Amino acid sequence: MTATSLTGANASTEVPLKRRLRRAERTRQVKALALVLPLLVFLLFTFAGPIAGMLWRAVDDREVRQALPQTVMALANWEGKDLPDEKAYAAVANDILAARASGTIAIAAKRLNYALNGFRTILTSTARNLKAVPEPGTARETLGKINPAWRERTTWTTIKDAGGPVTGFYLLAALDLTRNVDGAIVAASPDQAIYREIFGRTFLISLSVTVLCLILGFPVAYLLATLPPGRSNLLMIFVLLPFWTSLLVRTCAWIVLLQSKGVVNDSLHWLGIIDEPLRLIYNRFGVCVAMTHVLLPFMILPLYSSMKAISPAYMRAAASLGAPPLTAFLRIYLPQTLPGIGAGSLLVFILALGYYITPALVGGAADQMISYFIALYTTETANWGLASALGAVLLLATILLALVYGKLVQGQQVTGGMKN
Amino acid sequence: MEAGMVTPAPALVRFSGIQKTYDGEHLVVKNLDLDIRKGEFITLLGPSGSGKTTTLMMLAGFEVPTQGEIYLAERPIKNMPPHKRDIGMVFQNYALFPHLTIEENVAFPLSVRKVSKAETQARVKAALRMIKMEALAQRRPGQLSGGQQQRVALARALVFNPQLVLMDEPLGALDKRLREQMQLEIKQLHETMGITVVYVTHDQSEALTMSDRIAVFNDGIVQQIDRPDALYEHPVNSFVANFVGENNVLAGTVETIDRDLCRVALAAGGSVMARAVNVSGAGASTSLSVRPERIAIIPDGSSSDGPNRLPAKVQNTIYLGDHALAVLDVAGNAEFMVKLQPGAHDSLRHGSLRPGENVFITFRPEDCLALDPV
């Protein structure tokens, strides 16, 4: 057999071999898929779906378009330089009458009021005073007489901006930005610009809690990983104990402990250390203490698992090679716990970002985190757009953080040298 | 091969009356007195739980003796922390730092000693050249094979020129062929660098291959310290005879002692002449030890001029390539091994040693040791 015919035979058998392999693997893949399918469906409906819905609501803007369809259409080609023409006035008069009849006017009024304070009054007064469709050519005059705001350019740009179907309005608002009358993005007025500060506060509290958890959790995790099994199991039970009680109960326990007539203050007073009760709760201190307590296990467990994997032989080797205990710890032990530190910190930080109950119960007005406002807009004021936009910004920030972490971990990839 | 030229050098390490207990109830090491000479390759050999690893750990400083003192170069080191002892150590699982490259691993002992950068670089390079791994300097330990990791661990323990190098079953995780190769490499390093090595193993062939002296541990006590050949030829008790090398045991009672020879009546009947090594006197029970290669098989029972001639029944024969073993039933011991010399293969092939056949064995009195009863 010649060389060419040999390679030819190889080439002709190679493809069927690959295909056979695929066919052989297919059953296994189908089985694997069947095993994860229920969870996948569950996640799709309870996780991916709602998130997609939230992201959509952050840009969705169809209330005005539905209530005032003719106006939105009439303004479609309006440049926004001057007041719109008579056609737009006639359209808005028609729309208002129709919306009043169908009861959709309040929805449009609410949406327009977000963008321009007082718009609700403009719409309701117009709806109340507009008796019938104005004669052709008199719409501008009629409306201007009912409410002078119809002679303002801002009124019309507000309607045009809110015409949808999608808008950046909520996302801009979540970042303390807005569009001015000429459509340029500018900083929001100081009385509305609160979200950046709240985001900053949220990140600051989360960061403080993460650092506190790391400082408190590291020694505990070390003990857990190095104590003999009997005692480390006992310690592990103490670490996991918080999971056995509800978050609400633990937070309320902190109120009992930290309030001005609480256990801590009474003890300090009894010991003569303080005369006046310290303010330990309904401030930043109380929030950080309670959140650290709740989130501590999430730091300890990843730290523990990374420390458990570090063989005591490494520290012995370092000592035998001449490293004093501190040097051995800093140069040999600590670097090997970095993946655990990273995982624990990321977990605690991301969980802390979304914290709601604890700051709401033990924090003051200046300690409320972003989730408090998201809850406020969804449950109290039903401003779904803004709530979704705040959520979307938070989600984006979290994803960015996770990506940064991923990059860091990749650079610090540790492969095991021990063969056990 | 160097056994004959071990000259009495000053003791580098001296264990003096060392005792160690972990639970306060029984001693893991009982009254250890041991001198290790400078430049010597000494192996602590024994089964697991015999106290050899504990002894090594006390020397390294990871365990504190319950009683007694250890001297390193005449200085007591019982309370000296491990990092000040200047003892290099190679661990069973290598313990290479997984987050550092090979180069950084080897440089570690130098950098904690604040050796200058240029010198560190030169010494690391030399160490890596010594183990022929310069090309892999930038790899991480996880990317190396077991044998390569072991070489790096060796280089790391030697690069700072310690007074003493300890090795705790360093080849235990390697396969047989690689283990034998590494044994020779370690032996060679020891000879060329003149370092003092304390080596712990439970593998007696490894101990015989590498050591200048072997300390056989059992039950927390050093049973015998001697050169490999002396250990094999002149074991002082049954434990050493059985632990080092293959051995056949026959139980019996001493009848008479005449200087260093004695007559022993076997428990199963018959009697043999043996060298009296560890017997208290006439009437004492004893355990006879005969090495498999010191026994000859006489198929027909004729022509034997020695005093020791015992009937045997062939149980089995085992072919092992370079030699063969016959498993016999001799005086109640059904696992009595006799090593057949290459010439004797023919008798195997011709079927003269068929299972069930009755033969006779013979051995010289000086090859049969009367030891303490097991």
Task: List, for residues B142-183, the tens digit of each pLDDT value.
Answer: 999 888 999 999 999 999 999 899 999 998 888 888 889 889
Task: Find the chain B residues whose C-beta atoms sit closer than 8 A to any C-beta of A.
Answer: 60-62, 81-89, 91, 93-99, 108-109, 112-113, 140-143, 146, 149, 156-157, 160, 166, 173
How would you classify the pairing of strands B75-76 and B87-90?
unpaired
Residues of B in contact with A313 (CB under 8 A): 91, 93, 95
Q: Do B81 and A319 touch (CB under 8 A)?
A: yes
How do residues B49-106 score in pLDDT, each as one tens digit? 899 999 999 999 999 999 999 999 889 998 899 999 999 999 988 899 999 999 999 9
Examine the pLDDT at B271 and tell me if it is beyond 80: yes
Examine the pLDDT at B305 and tell me if it is beyond 70: no
- Does residue A108 sit in helix, strand or coil? helix
What pLDDT does A247 receive? 85
CB pairs under 8 A between A and B: 99
How do residues B210-257 score in pLDDT, each as one tens digit? 999 999 999 999 999 999 999 999 999 999 999 998 899 998 999 888
Q: What is the pLDDT along chain A (420 residues), one digit of tens a residue?
A: 444 444 444 555 567 888 888 888 898 999 999 999 999 999 999 999 999 999 999 998 888 888 888 888 888 878 777 788 888 888 888 888 888 888 888 888 888 888 888 888 888 888 888 777 777 777 777 888 888 888 788 888 888 888 878 888 899 989 999 887 777 888 888 888 889 999 999 999 999 999 999 999 999 999 999 999 899 999 999 988 888 888 888 888 899 999 888 888 899 988 988 888 888 889 999 999 999 999 999 999 999 999 999 998 999 999 999 999 999 999 999 999 998 999 999 999 999 998 888 898 888 888 899 999 999 999 988 888 999 999 999 999 889 988 888 887 765 554 443 333
Percent of residues, chain B, with pLDDT higher than 70: 93
Looking at residue B163, what DSSP letter applies?
Answer: S
CA distance B269 to chain A (A): 51
Best of B102, B112, B174 to disrupt the A interface by mutation (most A CBs within 10 Å)? B112
CA-to-CA distance for B268 and B192, rounded, in angstroms?
Answer: 53
What's the ipTM? 0.81
CA-to-CA distance for B297 and B339, rounded, in angstroms?
Answer: 9
Residues of A in contact with B113 (CB under 8 A): 322
- Does residue B306 sit in helix, strand or coil? coil
A368-371's contacts with Cβ under 8 Å and 24+ in sequence apart are A368/A198, A369/A198, A369/A201, A369/A202, A369/A205, A370/A195, A370/A198, A370/A199, A370/A202, A370/A394, A371/A202
CA angle (A121, A382, A106) in 5-degree steps: 30
For B200, the enclosing helix (H) or strand (E) is: strand B197-201
Looking at residue A270, what DSSP letter applies?
Answer: H
Task: Look at residues B165, B156, B161, B168 and name the one whose alpha carbon lies nearest to residue B206.
Answer: B168
Residue A321: which of B109, B143, B149 has the nearest Cβ?
A: B109
Q: What does pTM read for this prediction?
A: 0.77
Say if residues B333 and B374 touch (Cβ distance below 8 Å): no
Q: Which residue has the higher pLDDT, A140 or B207?
A: B207
Question: Position B142: which residue type?
Answer: G
Q: Which residue has the higher pLDDT, A161 or B207?
A: B207
Quick one: pLDDT band at residue B42, thresholds 50, 70, 90? very high
β-strand partners of B201: B45
CA-to-CA distance for A61 and A68, rounded, in angstroms?
Answer: 13
Q: Residues B12-19: what's their mean pLDDT?
A: 92
- Structure-block tokens of residue A88: 């737009």
